[in-house]
Structure 1
Amino acid sequence: MLTQNPNEAIRPDFTTQEHKDARQKLFDEGFNADQAARSLSALWTLTNNADKEHWALKQRRRHEAERREEEEEEEHRQLIKDEQEAARLEDRKKNKNKYVPLVRGKVPSDPTIIPAQYALRKMKAGDYCELHYFTNKGLEDAKVSNLLAEPDALVMLPAADGLHSWVPAAAVKDPKSAPIVKDENLSWEDFNEAAPRMIASM
């Protein structure tokens, strides 16, 4: 079996002492020194050419085997990929909520405006609604109203001295019964506060 590339082999010099025994066999057959050396060279060339053909065939077979192996590996990788994709699609079908894209919204920078429910109901119904409910005073009244979970509840309100005190809910005015400032009596400051808030709530 060839282990070295015969294309890289160098033809020996058959006139040297190293090949004396080979030449002697040809001398015994009646060859002279020159004929013996040329005959040995020709024989080596024929053998080397045959080795080159065998080597080329061996390389073609090796390359073909490597190509088939690579194709099989690629088919195996593709099969695994297809199985993983099928499993992913099946999981996506079973767990749709798991793959819902996450929407990253901006954190609101504007303060939240929560007017009285009474005012919102009037606007929703298309009734006239006073701007008072969207002034600072109206929003404060609405805030107190929203804190009332039940009539007997207590509400903590700031006192005149800056401290907070608990006040019975019954003592807190309902925004509906609180005095309403008519639109024509609003100050320009209150109007400029309320108008944009009402528009934003529409």
Structure 2
Amino acid sequence: MNRLLSDPQIEICPDFTSAFYQTSRAPLVAANNTEDQAANLLQAVWVATNAAQQLQWQAQVALDQAAEADRQRLIDQENDHLLQAQRLADATVEEEEKKKNRLKHIPIPKRPRPSRASENILVSDFALRKLDKGHFVEIYYWTNKGLADARFSYRAADDEGMVPTKTSDGATAWIPANATRPSSTVVPDCSLEPLDFAQAIPRLVASLTERGWNHERVHMLAGFWGALMLHRYWSLDDPLDRRALLMYQEEQRRAWHQAIPLPDGAWDISILDDVEISRTLDRLYREDRRRKDQDFDYQVSMIQLVCLSIH
């Protein structure tokens, strides 16, 4: 069916009685019709044809509208996809910008200066990155000495000293160079003074919470450290007893971190293993005894050498 180019409803039926249509009437008149009858027949044919064309026009308009709606829908979908892609690209660029210049994008609440702002601690970037990854990190970084080292590092650091690193999602982020290096003066947990350990633990627990650690894990570690400082060895006079607890703390915490991603997983580290603590103390005692024996043997040998040299 040929496509209509105009609306048949606006067309006007011609005057088939006029001289212009005499040629059209002639075949009908020749078939024993009068001029008026021939004109009426032509008019009836035109009316019937026009009615059929009106129906065709309505169907054609409906199809055109449906096609236009589909075309517009496809255009809208394409525009929406382009908009979403642009938003994603913009968000990616913005996220990269935030990672490269994190300090510029940290929101600052509208509030008065905290009365204890001068007491806020400044922790090593290296230690905080370890926390962010959920890795083991030495408690030293939260001791008074570790915090002092961090403040010195911040003052001495070059603002342009940035290095690229890969984030957990594979993206590239720029971080201060000192965030990739441990402190040159870091002290192992087992060698910390009990006072330094006790002062550092509340700060470390606060950092764990601030860095988004799971509440259950933070509570577990806090319970672990608290149980160690309440253990009977902690208050004994012999320094080896407290050192055994610190050694146990370091070894167990390292093992706990290493076990987390393994198939069997980790355990509730806050439950102390007194048998292992006793073994650790025994090991330290034997090492201390051996060292003292070696020192004694060395002193005896030196005395013997002196005596021989005199004679």
TM-score range, shorter-chain basis? Answer: 0.3 to 0.5
Higher relative contact order (CA 8 A, sep 6+): 1
TM-score by length of 1: 0.47
- Bigger fraction of residues in helix: 2
TM-score by length of 2: 0.31
Greater C-alpha Rg = 1
